[in-house]
Each structure stands twice: as structure tokens, then as C-alpha cells.
Structure 1
Amino acid sequence: MRRAARGFTLVELVITVAILGLLASIAMPLAETMVRRSKEQELKAALTTLRDAIDAYRDAVEAGRVARSAGDAGYPASLQVLVDGVADRSAGAGGKLYFLRRVPRDPFADPALPAVQTWGLRSSDSPPDAPQPGKDVFDVRSLSEGQALDGTPYRSW
């Protein structure tokens, strides 16, 4: 009497590989959607952070804590000003106001670019339907050509 050999048959292995391939093909789009959703959340948070800092700068100008020149709209000249700080007129000599620790980066932008260059800028004298950079930073937007999961372009956020 011969003992039956133990192991898997070729048919069992093929079926197992086919099932694993099917599961992987279902999981990949889900994983890509999760990564994209995470980047969208990062973009929303970065835009909120930058816009809050720009508004805080404007509030400081209105409160008289930051010097304002004639004809100045009261917005920062660049995003870097929010990190570098400005002289605080109410604190005396040497006091500075800081509005950001660092400029957040657009998660959809080229990682080789510095964070400051990943944003599209809109000056205070630029119309909302055709934002252009100018003498100050009134608002920021993503430069990404992509569309969000809800169908809106990232540039319009």
C-alpha cells in the first residue's frame, strides 16, 4: 500500500492565486482613494492655516501693531513675512509678531519645490475670478490641476 502524497494540486494553487489577485484588484483602488482623501484633508488644513495667518496679520495691522504705509491694503507682502515676523509696534524695541512657524506645503505640488512656491497667490487688487499675484498676499490657492473626489478643482478651494 502506498501512502497518498500530501500537498496542493495545481488546480488548488491556481484558484488560490486567482482569488488573491481578485482581492488585490479590489483593494488597490480603495487604497488610492484613501491616499487621495488624506492629501485632500492636508490641503484643506494647509489652506485654513495660511488663511488664518493672513487674517491675523490683517487684524494686527488694523489694531496698529504692525506699521502700515500709505496705500497699503494691510496684507503681508509675501508668505515668508508670516514666518519671519514683523516688528510689533506695541511691544517696544525688538519685539516681533510671528504668524506662522513654517509655511505649509501643498500636498499635491512637486516635492522638489520649496513650500512657499507651492501656492498660487492672489493680491488684494486682483479679482476673484482671475487671481493674480501682486504687491501683497490677500489669499492663497492650490496650483494643482487635479480635481477633488467631489469633482471640484483644487484651484477653487
Structure 2
Amino acid sequence: MLRRLQQSAGLTLIEMLIALAILAVLATAVLPMAEVTVKRTKELELRRALREIRSALDEYKTDYDKAANEKKIFVTVGESGYPAELETLLTGNDWGGLYQYPRKYLRRIPRDPFDTDQEGWGLRSYTDEADSSVWGGEDVYDVYSQSDEIALDGTYYRDW
């Protein structure tokens, strides 16, 4: 009886090879799915970041129009009402007394998850073409990713 327990205490070489073969097959199936999951998560983060910045730009423009309509600020010809730079959304504006304090639109500027070169967001001004990749510099009307990668749906991230 003791001899039988000693003989069945370990795994044979064949059992080990079969177990490793099964693990290898499972690993080859799981790794591509994990890569897609990571890319999909980054895409969701990019969509959220773009939505957050674009919403802040729209709120800024709404407050500009409200302050102009209530004669709290002087509007100059050719001024679009969008911020001159992206950082203006962080510092805020009181709109000539429309608010008791400078209204801030963002706590921080979200990062682009596909920005590997640390180039930052691509900017478009109100007078730029919709698909322009060169910023006119007058104001910040829109932002886009500068990544050349292709999304899971086949579009470029810079076109989102």
C-alpha cells in the first residue's frame, strides 16, 4: 500500500506535456483578445476625453454669448467667442461680472491615450476647415487626436 502511494504521488512526463499543450492553446487564444480589449479601452478613453474637451468648449462659447447678450463684455468684430488657447478652459473667466468668480470649465486637460510622441491635442480654430491639420491660431474651436493609428472600426483616430 505504501508503495502504491509513492508511485502515484507525482505527474508523469506525458501528463505534464499534455497540460503544457493545453495551456499553450489557451494562451494563443487569449492574447489576441487581450490586445483588442486594451485597444478598446483606450478608444473609450479617447472618446471620453474628446467629449469632455468639446463640451467645455461649447460651455465657454455659451457663456461668451450670454455675457455678450447681457452687455457684460464688449464684443469685437471677427471674434468667435471661443477661447484663444486650450489652457483658458483651466483658468476660467468671470465674463465681466456674469459670475462672481472666474468660471473654470476643466480641472485638467485630458490626455490623448494614443499620443505616444507627446505632441498633445491637435487644434482647429473657428475659421479652419473641418478636416484641417494645421491650426489657424485665432481660437480653439475643436480638438482632435494627432495619432496616425487606425481604430477597431477602420477609421483613423485623427478623424474622430
TM (norm. structure 1) is 0.87
Q: Are 2:101 and 1:95 equivalent residues in the alignment?
A: yes
Q: Which residue of 2 aligns with 1:13?
A: 16
Q: Which residue of 2 aligns with 1:143?
A: 146
Cα deviation for residue 74 of structure 1 reads 1.0
- Aligned residue type for 1:121: L
Q: Which residue of 2 aligns with 1:155?
A: 158
Q: Which residue of 2 aligns with 1:123?
A: 125
Q: Deviations over 1:29-48 (max 9, x none)?
A: 11111111111011101100
| 3-state secondary structure, aligned to 2:97 | coil
Cα deviation for residue 2 of structure 1 reads 8.9
- CA–CA distance in structure 1, aligned partners of residues 96 and 2 of structure 2: 97
Cα deviation for residue 132 of structure 1 reads 2.2
Q: Which runs of 5+ in 1 are unaligned?
A: none
Q: Give the CA RMSD over aligned residues.
A: 2.1
| 3-state secondary structure, aligned to 1:74 | coil
Q: Which residue of 2 aligns with 1:81?
A: 88
Cα deviation for residue 71 of structure 1 reads 1.9
- CA–CA distance in structure 1, aligned partners of residues 2 and 86 of structure 2: 81
**How many pairs does the alignment contain?**
152
Q: Are 2:61 and 1:54 equivalent residues in the alignment?
A: no
Q: Percent identity?
A: 42
- CA–CA distance in structure 2, aligned partners of residues 62 and 70 of structure 1: 14
Bigger radius of gyration:
2
- Aligned residue type for 2:114: F
| 3-state secondary structure, aligned to 1:140 | strand
| 3-state secondary structure, aligned to 2:67 | coil
Q: Are 2:112 and 1:109 equivalent residues in the alignment?
A: no
Question: Contact between 2:122 and 2:143, CA under 8 Å: does it hold in 1?
Answer: yes
TM (norm. structure 2) is 0.86
Q: Deviations over 1:102-156 (max 9, x none)?
A: 111111113x84xxx5210011111113242121101000011111111111000
